[in-house]
């Protein structure tokens, strides 16, 4: 079984599309939405498609905490962490291929795929930068064995997730790359270059690529080498 885990915070504009997509998957599955106190209709929409965990504490929930809470109730052999603004074309072809990759390589602990911005929203800068990012992740995972994956899509064996003790909850940002880097020390990680998912690219479009690239770069270095985030807070972009 695959457990789909979607961390959310005020995602009413996009959440229905991905939940309907995940619901259409024919394989054995469960969908878990881990919500960080949305003030819009996110939870109301999510409850039509998924189990919903609602953050009740006064402190703001970090993305890493939301992912870990979702994983704590997951029952699937595989955990898929996916953002709310993502879409998977032909999902019933996509996941049989990912499962086949895992089954053909028993040492594989985590898998990721290329990401692109939706074609009707994609800018020239999006095409160039995500092509470079995807190529770097391909090289880091499949050749350098370093483990690298952006948070839009990460697929992990549940036993490995538990062994690694999940995402680092000290991190405000960069938890995705830090986690994949860490599990690559347990087993193999893989970048499935023939599979692609799409997302809105909203953060780059809102704050601009120069600022986002700087934040990504410093958060990656800080998370991997210092165990902490460069960013003091990860701004919610909606």
Q: Could you tell me the CATH number of the domain that includes residue 11?
A: 3.90.550.10
Residues in the chain, overall count: 238
For residue 106, give Cα distances in angstroms to 100, 101, 137, 188: 11, 9, 21, 9
Helices (H), 63-123: 63-72, 91-104
What is the residue-wise DSSP string for 170-219? T-SS-HHHHHHHHHTTTSEEEE-TT--EEE--HHHHHH-HHHHHHHHHHH
Residue 237 has pLDDT above 80, yes or no: no
**133: number of CA atoms within 13 Å, CB side?**
23
Average pLDDT over residues 179-206: 96
Average pLDDT over the chain reads 93
- Hey, what are 96's tokens? 């049989």
Range of the structural domain that residue 131 is part of: 2-226
68 vs 51: CA distance, rounded Å: 15
Residue 177 has pLDDT above 80, yes or no: yes
Average pLDDT over residues 205-210: 89
Q: Which residue has the tokens 């992912």?
A: 67
How many domains does the chain contain in total? 1
Q: Which tens digit of pLDDT belongs to each residue from 19-48?
A: 999 999 999 999 999 999 999 999 999 999
Q: If pLDDT is split at 50, 70 and 90, which confidence band does 234 have?
A: low
Q: Which tens digit of pLDDT belongs to each residue from 57-106?
A: 878 888 999 999 999 999 999 999 999 999 999 999 999 999 999 999 99
- Classify residue 224 by burial, with Cβ atoms within 10 Å: 0-12, 13-18, 19+: middle
Strand order in 153-157's β-sheet? Answer: 51-54, 29-35, 2-8, 78-82, 153-157, 108-112, 188-191
54 vs 60: CA distance, rounded Å: 12
Average pLDDT over residues 3-26: 97
Residue 50 belongs to some domain of the structure: yes
Residue 234 belongs to some domain of the structure: no
Residue 46 belongs to some domain of the structure: yes
Residue 215 belongs to some domain of the structure: yes
Residue 236 belongs to some domain of the structure: no
Residue 159 belongs to some domain of the structure: yes
Residue 233 belongs to some domain of the structure: no
């Amino acid at each position: 079984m695959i457990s789909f885990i979607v961390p959310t915070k005020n995602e009413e504009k996009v959440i229905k599309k991905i939940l309907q997509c995940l619901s259409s998957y024919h394989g054995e599955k469960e969908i878990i939405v881990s919500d960080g106190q949305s003030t819009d209709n996110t939870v109301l929409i999510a409850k039509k498609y998924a189990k919903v965990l609602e953050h009740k504490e006064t402190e703001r929930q970090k993305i890493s905490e939301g992912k870990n809470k979702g994983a704590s109730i997951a029952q699937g052999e595989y955990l898929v962490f996916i953002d709310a603004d993502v879409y998977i074309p032909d999902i019933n072809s996509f996941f049989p291929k990912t499962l086949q990759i895992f089954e053909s390589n028993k040492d594989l602990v985590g898998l990721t795929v290329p990401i692109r911005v939706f074609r009707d929203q994609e800018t020239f800068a999006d095409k160039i930068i995500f092509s470079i990012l995807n190529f770097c992740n391909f090289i880091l995972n499949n050749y350098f064995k370093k483990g690298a994956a952006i948070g839009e899509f990460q697929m992990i064996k549940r036993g490995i997730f538990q062994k690694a003790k999940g995402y680092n909850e000290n991190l405000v940002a960069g938890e995705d790359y830090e986690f994949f880097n860490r599990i690559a020390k347990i087993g193999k990680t893989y970048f499935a270059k023939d599979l692609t998912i799409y997302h809105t690219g909203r953060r780059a479009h809102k704050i601009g690529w120069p600022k986002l690239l700087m934040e990504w770069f410093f958060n990656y270095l800080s998370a991997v080498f210092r165990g902490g985030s460069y960013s003091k807070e990860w701004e919610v972009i909606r």
